[in-house]
Amino acid sequence: MNQGLSKNSFLLCITLLLKLTIYAQINLPELPRIQGIETCFPDTVGYRRITVGPSGKDYNDLQRALDAAQPGTVLILDASAEFRGSFVLRAKPQDPRWIILISSQMNLLPAEEERVQPTAPTGHSMFPTQKSAMPRIISTNTGGTPALRTEIRAQRYWLSGLEITIDTTVKQNFGAVNFGESSSMQNSLDKVPEWLCLDRCYLHGHTKGDILKYGLRLDCKIGMVLGCHISDFHSVGFDAQAISGINGPGPFFIINNYLEGAGENILFGGGAPSISGLVPSDIVIQNNHFSKPYSWRVGHPDYEGKHWTIKNLFELKTGKRVHLSGNILDQCWADLPIGQSGYAILLTVRTENGAAPQADVSDITIENNIIRNTGAGISISGSDGNNSLRSKRILIENNLMYGISGPLHGDGNVAGPNDGTAFHLGEPQDLTIRHNTILHTGPITWAYKTMTGFRFMDNLCHSYISAGGYQGIYGPGVQQGNNTISRYFPDITDANLRFHKNVLIGGNASRYTNFAMNSKNYFPATVNEVGFLNYIDGPNNPALFALSGQSPYKGNASDGKDIGADMDRLLKNLNPVKKCNPVSITKDPQDNGRKIKLWPSPCTEMLSIETENKGMIFITDLLGRPRIIYLIREKITQLDLSNLESGSYFCHVRNGENHFSTSFIKL
């Protein structure tokens, strides 16, 4: 018995060692360097308050209000107001405090870390939808200038709860909001604006123009786009994006937004930066919904009659340390000859004809995403000819890809490389594709250059013969399987397990005999043999693409997990736990560690106050005049401030000789 235990223990150790050896060989990407950067709404305690609106406010001119505002100011814009023109966010003295622009009806908009929905009802008779509760900033310049732009060296602007758009009389607009400058005016890092945020804003174009180039340009340092709805950016014969960036170093946070752009929904690169050697870096793209509406698709029943140029959903022509996680990338189709072939993602190094030789697409992590309803999957070029850098360290892990269909969304060329292809591959180095569930109509790979460091492990894929006769792991000029791997992925061997533990549904096992002794791959004839929870209903509920307890591939991956995507992990990342604390905590200098907690800040009608001390609460104005006095009866006191006019106030707690206080804003 002891010998048996020893033998079992020995086998377990060998198994664990084998797993560690497999994963130790993988050269994984570095994640974005974002330590210490906070993306939560600033604490506005102690900030000055300025109201902006057509009448009875501190300012009726938005530009004058912006010019007057200093760091530590909240500009409260009337929800009913329109501000027409092009407005500039000026450079101000360096200060850790923000200049904040908010709607006067923030209480009717989604809470922090939630996404704005412009047409969603608010329940308020005067402001029945979320967009009606926003002030409107409208570019009327027929020369195409933005509605909002930053000066050189501007910093610390937070824009929240605003509608920003272009007047329908403007036929050509070359950007609605510019965080930074792509021209030679911004030709060194010391000129780059920084700490800029678009938070819960509705940024949109319109259908009456021909060129609406982009919604937001991120040519800055530390730029954030949080909970926004960015839509209707499109052009005839030109690329258009919801978000793009060329001349900003990053980091960038693009989190929990709805994004529409006809060319690319998000694009980094596409032009040479004015700052020598610049590569946008440290980019976090999480929990967004990328989409192109079918009203843009020629021939679709919903088509609205204007042929915008359609390309892809996400593209990097340059960018390092990029984390694309927890997103839905939905609806992209071929639009040849003016557009592209319907890929969801392009990682394609472009040196802009030698003007940007530093262009680099490396350290890219694509995980926990749903990619669906596109003509093809992911295209990775690897380089831009002999004079460019070569892409390195790319991880594609735990994604669900379905509805990747050449017949439904492709370019119609069944003999070409894009007809439902999952991965179109050039020559990136150290590309790892593992633990994905991929349901598509074309070959798994269409490799067209020899590459090193390729690993394809623990994936669950369709491997049926396409309409053009292509199947499985394929590269042109040779047969799938053994011959393709030998020709295009020559450092994969049976012994090093780099093509290992994959399920190729409908695949041809006879073409993979060189990877059958140490490496183990599986070739079920149909999806019925796989053991999905419910393959048919999976498009309506992606959780059903998980493996059932009876599946032969459950717990059978190289790391002991299920082969294919972990649906629990994926869905959890689509809906992450909120991390921003709605409580504003400040300490009085003489408080000796005692705390007052106030929320929300700014507040509207109700203010919650938490303190461990008994005694009295005094609400005073800035001149110290008492406005509300309340006896503390419980740990948390809720005060009705509906009869208190908008303004800045102090909250004091007194208990015998003790006195401590903090400030807040009432909208």
DSSP letters spanning 175-220: -SEEEE--STTS-SGGG--EEEEEES-EEE--SS-SEE-EEEEEES
User: What single DSSP character describes residue 28?
Assistant: P
Q: Given pLDDT bands bounded at 50, 70 and 90, which one contains residue 585? A: very low
Res 363: pLDDT = 98
User: Rounded to whole angstroms, how far apart are CA atoms 603 and 342?
Assistant: 46
187 contacts: CB under 8 Å, gap ≥ 6: 274, 275, 276
Neighbours of 573 (CB within 10 A): 18
Q: Within a 10 A sphere around the Cβ of 502, how many other Cβ atoms?
A: 31
Rounded Cα distance between 81 and 63, Å, is 14
Pairing outcome for strands 289-291 and 596-599: unpaired
- Residue 83 and residue 109 in contact, taking contact as beta carbons nearer than 8 Å: no
Looking only at the bridges linking them, the beta strands covering 289-291 and 328-332 are parallel
Does residue 344 carry a pLDDT above 50?
A: yes
Tokens representing 55? Answer: 């009448």
Reported as a pLDDT band with limits 50, 70 and 90, residue 577 is: confident
Element (H, E) at 2: helix 2-24
Residue-wise pLDDT tens digits, 45-99: 888 999 999 988 999 999 999 999 999 999 999 998 999 999 999 999 999 999 9
Least confident of 286-290, 528-532, 553-557, 576-580: 576-580
Which pLDDT score, from 0 to 100, does residue 589 have? 31
Nearest alpha carbon to residue 271 among 242, 244, 234: 244
Structure confidence by residue, pLDDT tens digits, 614-647: 788 888 876 567 788 888 888 888 899 988 888 7
Q: What percent of the chain has pLDDT over 90?
A: 77
pLDDT averaged over every residue in the chain: 91
User: How much is the average pLDDT of 587-596?
Assistant: 40
- For residue 438, the SS3 value is strand
What was the pLDDT predicted at 12? 46
What pTM was computed for the model? 0.86
Buried b (16+ CB within 10 A) or exposed e, 29-55: beebebeeeebebbbbbebbbbbbbee
Please name which of 430, 280, 245 lies closest in space to residue 360, comparing C-alpha atoms: 280
Q: How many CB atoms lie within 10 A of CB 202?
A: 23
Residue 360, pLDDT > 50, answer yes
Task: Give burial (CB, 10 Å; 0-12/13-18/19+) of 20.
Answer: exposed
- Picking from 433, 436, 434, the residue whose alpha carbon sits closest to that of residue 425 is 433
Tell me: the pLDDT tens digits for 98-143?
A: 999 999 988 889 989 999 999 999 988 899 999 999 999 999 998 8
Question: What's phi and psi for 515, nearest 5 deg?
Answer: -130, 55
Domains and CATH numbers, the chain: 1-30+319-578 (no CATH), 37-310 (2.160.20), 584-666 (2.60.40.3080)
- Can you spell out the DSSP letters for 595-621? -EEEESSSBSSEEEEE-S--SEEEEEE
**Count of CB atoms within 10 A of residue 613's CB?**
17
pLDDT of residue 24: 52
> CA–CA separation, 113 vs 377, rounded Å?
29
Q: What's the pLDDT tens digit per position in 466-491?
A: 999 999 999 999 999 999 999 999 99
Per the DSSP assignment, residues forming a β-bridge with 167 are none
- pLDDT(652) > 90: no
Alpha-carbon torsion (178, 184, 190, 191), positive or negative: negative
Q: Are 441 and 373 in contact (CB under 8 A)?
A: no
pLDDT digits (tens, 9 = 90+) for 292-340: 999 999 999 999 999 999 999 999 999 999 999 999 999 999 999 999 9
pLDDT at 660: 72
Cα 40 from Cα 516, distance rounded (Å):
52
